[in-house]
Structures are given as structure tokens and as C-alpha cells.
Structure 1
Amino acid sequence: MGGITGWVSFGQDLTIRHDVLAAMTATLLPRGRDAGGLWTSEHAALGNRRHAVQDPANGAQPMFAGHATITYDGEVYNFQELRADLSARGHRFTTRTDTEVVLRGYLEWGLGVAERLNGMFAFALWDARAQRLVLVRDRLGVKPLHYYPIGGGVLVGSEPKAIFAHPSTCREVDADGMREMVFHTPGRTVYKGLYEVRPGTILTIDRTGTREHHFWRLETAPHLDDPEETAAEIRRLRQDTVARQLVADVPVGWLTKRSGDLLELFQAVPERVALPVEGADDLFEGALPTCDLPDEVLAALDLDTYLADSHATAIGEIARLPGESDEDWERRKTAYLHLTRTLPAVLDRIDRVSAAAGLEVRLPFTDHRLVEYLYNARIPSLTWSCRTGSRSG
């Protein structure tokens, strides 16, 4: 866990705007009380608040190597394998952090580093050679990452309050923002001019503009495993995911009970990192915030039209398998809407509350391999007939 900030301006010298970056970064103190750092160059500035769980004595951020500087929040669970690969390619590490693995991974693979990462992560990286800012967010959107375009550049922050600490911003909620309180659209926020990097997405920002690249999407695929094979694969993925997420240089605890108040639950954990013992449904029941608006406001927002359009857009993103029954198609649509529209709002609240409690919460159920497998395995009638013992579809 940590907090990141950034500011890119191609029209001014940011080395003399250290105070603004410091103010932005200071708003994220609860996300990282162990250390803080600022880095400025002519056209780019990065800030970081660190909650140290890997190599606490080292790993100060922002971190730089070669032509790249990074500010990073999250955990990459396969960093040890990637580190070994990079070491074999000639990279020499000075810390035991996953941050340095991501940084050197960019130097080796460029934007291709994102698809190699397994974990929850959000980072901003300044490439001095290409004179571009790279923003990357994990596949399910466990870690938040916001940006706010301004004249000649962009502002970046883990949370909106970091961006709104900049004097060029305006905290305004318009009609579209109020609609977002009711139904979340990937990439949008409740504030006018403020956006989220969409889950599974890379943004690059340079003098010519902003480009978006998706390194992961939730895809439809045939499920060909029988029930026994399915159960075994789910078990294998869960065991591997939990084993990876237990790796830390600080004590790891367990969230073993439900509570009506998430902050109370998180504050009760004495360790710095925690995993849930039970499934997400038990632990985070009721975690999705609700929004009650006056009737006259609801009427003005024309929510029926908005929800119909938003629903149609979401459904249009899903591929239907040939021969998929109407029942299975409905289940697939429900699963997709939950994973891409409802879950991000839940994850955002979990992130905010855990940050306020000074606790890094790791969520095994958000491992993208498990999500991909279960998303398609939950459509049973197309791919397996228990009566005949044969595959169908």
C-alpha cells in the first residue's frame, strides 16, 4: 500500500514547483506513513508515500534507473520470478522490492512489462528518453489511479484529494458526475474533468497527446474442463494465489470476522498486511456505498435513460459463445456487470478504508487468473453434461 502523485507540464519548469508537489503528496500521508519522497525534473514531477512491506530499510521512492523514474503503489506477487528473469538478462538490483522489479522490467520490456505482472498495482513512470508519462493500473482495478488533464500536461494521484490540492484544479460535480453515483462507468468519476485509468489499461501522455492501451480484458472463452477438473483447477489457483500473497518482509495477518464497519474491522488487525480467511461475499457484504438523491434531482438526471444506455454499453463489450443458451447468457451478463461495474466501486471503498486504517489488504479473489477461469467456468450447461458424461457445445 502507498500513495502516488504526479505532475507533467510540457510548458513550464517543474523544478521550481516543488511546493505544489509536496502539498499534493502530503494529502496521502495515511496511505504511507513509513516514508515519503519527491522527485522533480524540468517537465515531470513525481511524489510518493510509502507503507513498506518489502525490504523496509530500502526501496525509497520515487525510484529511478536508467532513463526511467517511477512512483508505485501495490504488490506484484510474481516479482521473484521476474527478478530472476531480469537478473539473467544482466540487470543488477540494489533492493529486494517489487518496485525495482517493475522499474527494471520497463527498461527491459517497455510497455510490455504490464502484462507480465501478477498483482494489485498502480504506478506512474516518467520516461526521460521518450519524454512521456506512463500510467498503469492492475487488471481488476484493485489499486486506484486518477488523472486530471490540464493545459500542456496532466496531474496524477491515487486519490482525488491529491489532485485537488493543485491550484489549477476545480472540484466540481456536474450532472454526469451525479449519475456516476448511481452506476459506475469504467474511467469516469463523480468530478468534472477527473478520470480514472481504467483497470487493465496503460495510458501514455506526451507532447502529442494521450493514448490508451488495454493489456487485459475479461474475455469469453469455452470452458472444457469437467467438474472434477474444474474443482482441481480452482483449488490449485486458490492455493497458488494465497501462497504468493503471503510473501512480505513484515507480519501478515488474517481478517477472520465480519463487521458492520470496515474501518473497525481493519483497525482491529495488529499486522501491517492482512488477507481474508473467508470469501469476499462474507467479508465485504454491504461494502458498496449507496446514494440517496432527492426525487427532483433524480428526475432531472433522467436515470432511466442513463442506466439503459450504460447497461447496453456494458453488454456490448461481451462476446457470446456460439450455441450459448439464453440462461447461460444471462448468467454471463450478470457476472460481467458485477466484475466490471459493481466490483470496482467496492474495491475503491475497501482501498480508502484500509488506507485510513494503515492496513494493506490483499484480496486473493481478485487474482486475474482465478477471475478468468471462474468467469467462464460458471457457465456449466454449455460445456459439460453430467448426465451423459460428455462435453457439449
Structure 2
Amino acid sequence: MCGISGWIDFQRDLTREQPAIDAMCDTMSCRGPDARGTWVAPHAALGHRRLAIIDLPGGTQPMTSPDGDVVIVYSGEAYNFTELRDELRRRGHRFATDSDTEVVLHGYLEWGAKVAEHLNGMFAFAVWDSRTEQLLLIRDRMGIKPLYYYPTEQGVLFGSEPKAILANPLAEKVVDADGLRELFTPVKTPRQAVWAGMSEVEPGTILTVDRNGLREHTYWQLDAVEHTDDQQATVQHVRELLDDIVARQLISDVPRCVLLSGGLDSSAITALAGLELSRSGEQVRSFAVDFLGQAENFVPDDLRATPDTPYVHDVAQHVGSKHQDIVLSPDALADPAVRRATVQARDLPMGLGDMDQSLYLLFKAIREHSTVALSGESADEVFGGYQWFHDPEVRKADTFPWLAAVRAHRDGESQVLDPHVQDVLSLESYVADRYRESLAAVPTLDGESAFERRMREISYLHLTRFVRILLDRKDRMSMAVGLEVRVPFCDHRLVEYVFNAPWALKNFDGREKSLLRHATADALPKSVVDRVKSPYPSTQDPKYAAALQAQVSDLVAAGSEALSLMNGPWLREALAKDPATIDTPTRFHFERALDLATWFDIHNPTIKL
């Protein structure tokens, strides 16, 4: 895993712009702590920060073709690179390293832009072809690895993260009304990067840049096809796919581990990884996050009926993993330095409160032992695991399901915003427009019932919108500490197959994620097989809420510029509350205020309403 950046300009001599190239590259030192490299020509400059995972001595980048005409900067992993290398050798290619980057480079020399269709993995990379003076920006099918671009008058800037682009003097740190709308509504509009003038390369997309401008080509998207396997065959195929996926994603030349929460998703990955590694006499290593006093003081709520720790320990014992709990205190979670690190990592104040801070601290602790981790992220989107998939009222709602499920919480979002900001942004209209656009993109299948059609819509929205929010969070928090997190459930073969399975198969036992549960039940302890879905944990310690309240009070006293976006009377009323009575929405809004203030301090953005 790495960070990439670059600058294409068909008029400027970029050999004179080395300081700017270096600045762009160096913003991502956390993504690539092991090596740094730049390649500069008159009209193209590429930068790379490396986190060495495969072929530690041989994967140095930027990497050039044998004749020097083509150069690549690559981030991610191609899990099928050994098979591709064998195929390319049969076609006459010779390799100087054992790295997957060189395989991707030679794949481009053989197939051109169609190399993307040959790759199984998570990736974002740039290829500059001096023969045609053409840049290709290519992103993986599910958008696991980020990639941004910023068109200029004579070319383009690009980078794994916005911060790389913003380090260039041509990029302006401006956020307009649409950018703010995206900040305050979790709808994940395609291409929207919040920063004015900046866009995301869409998942499954190739962006071509040459003297004629920019062009997009979609090489992969979810399609609706008839599912012909019966229940038994479907369960069996899901297991076969998962066995293959986990085996591929365990390949590494550095220490690897699994993230274990005690839920079905992460437990399944842990169990399958344990089985795979046991074939070579290895022991799987697992890590879990916990909070000081959480197990003893846990109080069930609508989302979390049980604490994670007992189930984590059941799985670790059942699988025989070398396990470690990472226990976090309220003081650590509320540390302003930790918040700053998470906002810096995301480039935006779009966090999930303590769940961001805890994820960052978890990854930071893991990085002391491992460089690669497998995660159960995205299983809920693939298999239909969220509670709202099964709520008849949410299914009928004329909006994004995750918003309908937490409508009261989201309605509170407008309360915390300054009234003038509310009027300008008109968030309800923005959400409604984005929802209609997203529904228009859902593929259809002839003969589907209205119910099956609706469940396909809900699945599609999660796989093309909601999952990208979580994948981005996972990438940013992990790469901020130089940890590569792999997501087996995002393998496109599994996503395509399960997406087209009828809903009746996805909950055939009356439970969420029936296919995953039955496909992996033989490898799991019964406690986990029977456990009800529980989201990523959040601290319940009132000391954390009290710390947030005190920090926001300091913000108000200091007159932070970020508070110009917020509702002053609401804040003053919230600050007057007894800390013991602070509810979840109020706590979330305190988080929002602190994130905004931190973001303003880091980037000093210009807000244009």
C-alpha cells in the first residue's frame, strides 16, 4: 500500500517544478513510510510514497518500462499477480523483480488500459505513456483505494488524498455550497470530493488525460443477471469464493493479522484465515478494540445488544489465534492530538466521532506488530446485514435507507447549523435529488417482483454509496499509521454473485446475512453463529461526553471561525446541560464542532456559500 501523486501540464516545463512535486509527495509520508521517489519529465511528474508489502527490495517506484517510455506509480495490491505474471511471461515479457507493480506495468504494455479488467484486488494507479503523451488514472472496482484529481488549465493534478493535490500552488482550498452539502449529508455523491474543483476517480473507472482534455471510461459496474443456483449451491459457492479470497489476501512478505470484533463478519474472516494458515503450520494473529470498563458497565441499546469482548474471546479460543485486546481509555479517545490526527488523515471533518478515534488508535497499536490486516468491513453491504434492511418502514421510505433508519438523528443535523447556512444549503432538497439520481442508476432484471426490485435497489445503494463512506474511513485511518487493511468481502466476484442472489436467499433462515452465516458456520463457535448483528463499538463512558463538552466550551470561548457554520444558541444550550444527561445526538454534534474547528485550523479553507 502506498500513496501516489502527480502533475501533468502540457505547457509548463515541470522539470523546473521539483519543489512542488516533492511537496505533493511528502504530504503522504504516512501512507508510505518505507521509501520515497519522484519521476519528472517536461510535461509529466509522478510521485510515490511506499509501504513495502510485496518484494521488499524490488518494488521501488516510480517504475519505468524497459525502454523507459512508460512509467507507473501504483497503490494497492493485485492478489492475482502471480497468475498474471505467468501469463505475461508466456507472452514474452521478462521481469526484473517479484513485485505486483511490475506485473501491472507489463500488463499495461500488453493490454493497454484493459489491464484493469485483468486485475483482482484493491488499487489506484497512474500510468504516463510518453509515446502518446497520455496519462491514465485507474481505480479498483469497489473504490477500496482512493484517487482524486483536479483539472487545471493545461492538464491535471492527482493524488491518493486531497492533501497531495492541495499542496500544489495551483489548487485552491475552497469549499462551496455543494461541498458543504456533501459534508453534512452522508450520501456519497459520485465524483464529489467536497473541495471545489476537485473530483474522485469513480470506482471501476479509467480517467484518460491528454492534450484533448479528460475522458472517462467505465470498465466495471454492478449488473443485474439471473441467479440460477439453489440455496445449497449458493451457500457452497459463497464458501468456495471466501476460501479463495482469504487465501489470496493473506499473501504478504511482512507480518499480517486479522481485525476481530466478535461479530459474524470479522469472525468468519478470522476463522478462514486460521484454517488457511494452519495448512502451513502458522498461527493467525488477531486484534480487537475495547474500552476501559466497557464489559463491566455495558448497557444494551437499540443498536448494540451485547458487548463484543466475550464473543471476541470465544472466537480467539475456537480458532486458536494469537490474540490481543487493545483497551482504550476515555482520555485517549478525547485527546485533541488524536482528533487532529484523524481529521488530518481524512482531509475533511466527516468523521464518526469516537469510532474514528478508536479505529485510529487501534490501527496505531496494531502497526507495532503487523503491517497488513484483514478486515470484515463491507459484509453488511454485500449480504444485507444492517437492521434497516429488515425494517418494513425503512424499505418503504423515499430516501437513502441509512438516513431513514436514523431520521431523528439526521434531522438534528440541521438544528446544529447556523440558520443562514441551513437556508442556503437546503439539505433536504439535496438529499432528495441525490436519491433520485442513485435510483436511476440501479440495474433492472426482467420479471422481478416489486419487492425483489426494492431489495435490489437497497443493496445497490449500499454497494455504490454507503460502503464507500466506510471504505474511505478504513483506508484513511489505517494509512495514517502505515497499516494496510485488506477487505475480502469487497472482492468483485463475491459482490457480483451475492448482489444477484434473490433476497429470499439472503435471509432464508429469517436472520440477517443467512448466506454468510451458513457458509462459515462450521468454522465458528456457536455463540457467534447465533449472535445478533452488532455494529462497530462506541464508548459509553460519560467521561468522554464530558470531555467533549469541555472542549467545545473552550472553542466557543476562543471564538473559533468554524463556529460561524453552527447554531450559536443551540450550542450554548447544549453546553449548559449536565454532562451526565448528554444524549447521542448532542454528543455527535459536539464531535462535529470539534472536527470542524480542527479542520479549519489545519487547512484554513475558504467557504463560499
* Same fold, judged at TM 0.5 (above): yes
Counting aligned pairs with the same residue, the percent is 51
Partner of 1:248: 252
Q: How does 1:87-126 map to 2 (within 5 A)?
A: 87-126=89-128
Q: How does 1:1-393 map to 2 (within 5 A)?
A: 1-65=1-65, 66=67, 67-181=69-183, 182=185, 183-257=187-261, 258-259=288-289, 260=355, 261-269=358-366, 270-276=369-375, 280-281=379-380, 292=413, 294=417, 296=419, 297-380=421-504
Instruction: Confirm or deny: 8 A CA contact 2:376 2:489 kept in the other structure.
Output: no
Counterpart CA distance in 1 for 2:13 and 2:378 is: 49
Q: Which amino acid aligns with 2:222?
A: L
3-state SS of the aligned residue for 2:233? Answer: helix
CA offset at residue 172 of structure 1? 0.7
CA deviations over 1:233-262 (Å, ceiling 9, x no partner)? 100111111011011111111112353411
CA deviations over 1:324-380 (Å, ceiling 9, x no partner)? 111111111111111111111111111110011221000001100101111111433
Counterpart CA distance in 1 for 2:32 and 2:378 is: 27
Instruction: Confirm or deny: 8 A CA contact 1:221 1:376 kept in the other structure.
Output: yes
CA offset at residue 105 of structure 1? 0.3
Structure 1: unaligned runs, 5 residues or longer: 385-393
Q: Which amino acid aligns with 1:274?
A: A
CA offset at residue 277 of structure 1? 6.1
CA deviations over 1:77-135 (Å, ceiling 9, x no partner)? 00000000001111110111110000000000001100110000000110000101000
CA offset at residue 295 of structure 1? 5.3
Counterpart CA distance in 2 for 1:14 and 1:188 is: 28
CA deviations over 1:43-71 (Å, ceiling 9, x no partner)? 00000000000000111100000321000
Instruction: Confirm or deny: 8 A CA contact 2:70 2:129 kept in the other structure.
Output: yes
Bigger proportion of residues as helix: 2
Counterpart CA distance in 1 for 2:124 and 2:370 is: 23
Partner of 2:603: none
Bigger proportion of residues as strand: 1
Q: Which amino acid aligns with 1:126?
A: W
CA offset at residue 186 of structure 1? 1.3
Counterpart CA distance in 2 for 1:314 and 1:223 is: 23
3-state SS of the aligned residue for 1:223? Answer: coil
Counterpart CA distance in 1 for 2:80 and 2:422 is: 46
Q: Which amino acid aligns with 1:364?
A: P
CA offset at residue 304 of structure 1? 2.1
Counterpart CA distance in 2 for 1:225 and 1:380 is: 13
Counterpart CA distance in 2 for 1:271 and 1:331 is: 39
Q: Which amino acid aligns with 1:209?
A: G
Counterpart CA distance in 2 for 1:338 and 1:81 is: 32
Counterpart CA distance in 2 for 1:129 and 1:70 is: 14
Instruction: Confirm or deny: 8 A CA contact 1:328 1:381 kept in the other structure.
Output: no
Distance 1:277 1:145, change over 3 A: closer
CA deviations over 1:281-322 (Å, ceiling 9, x no partner)? 59x99xx9x994505223321222222221111111112212
Provide the aligned C-alpha RMSD in A: 2.1
Partner of 2:320: none
CA deviations over 1:155-188 (Å, ceiling 9, x no partner)? 0110001100001110111111112121211111
Distance 1:350 1:84, change over 3 A: same
Distance 1:49 1:378, change over 3 A: farther
3-state SS of the aligned residue for 1:126? Answer: strand
CA offset at residue 381 of structure 1? 7.4
Instruction: Confirm or deny: 8 A CA contact 2:3 2:75 kept in the other structure.
Output: yes
The structure with more radius of gyration: 2
Instruction: Confirm or deny: 8 A CA contact 2:378 2:487 kept in the other structure.
Output: no
Structure 2: unaligned runs, 5 residues or longer: 262-287, 290-354, 387-402, 404-408, 509-609
CA offset at residue 151 of structure 1? 1.1
- State the TM-score, normalizing by the size of structure 1: 0.92
Q: Which amino acid aligns with 1:102?
A: V
CA offset at residue 279 of structure 1? 7.2
How many equivalent pairs are there?
Answer: 379
Counterpart CA distance in 2 for 1:237 and 1:225 is: 14
- When structure 1 is superposed on structure 2, of 179-188 and 50-59 the one drifting more is 179-188
Counterpart CA distance in 1 for 2:448 and 2:125 is: 39
CA offset at residue 276 of structure 1? 2.6
Distance 1:381 1:89, change over 3 A: closer
Counterpart CA distance in 2 for 1:51 and 1:350 is: 16
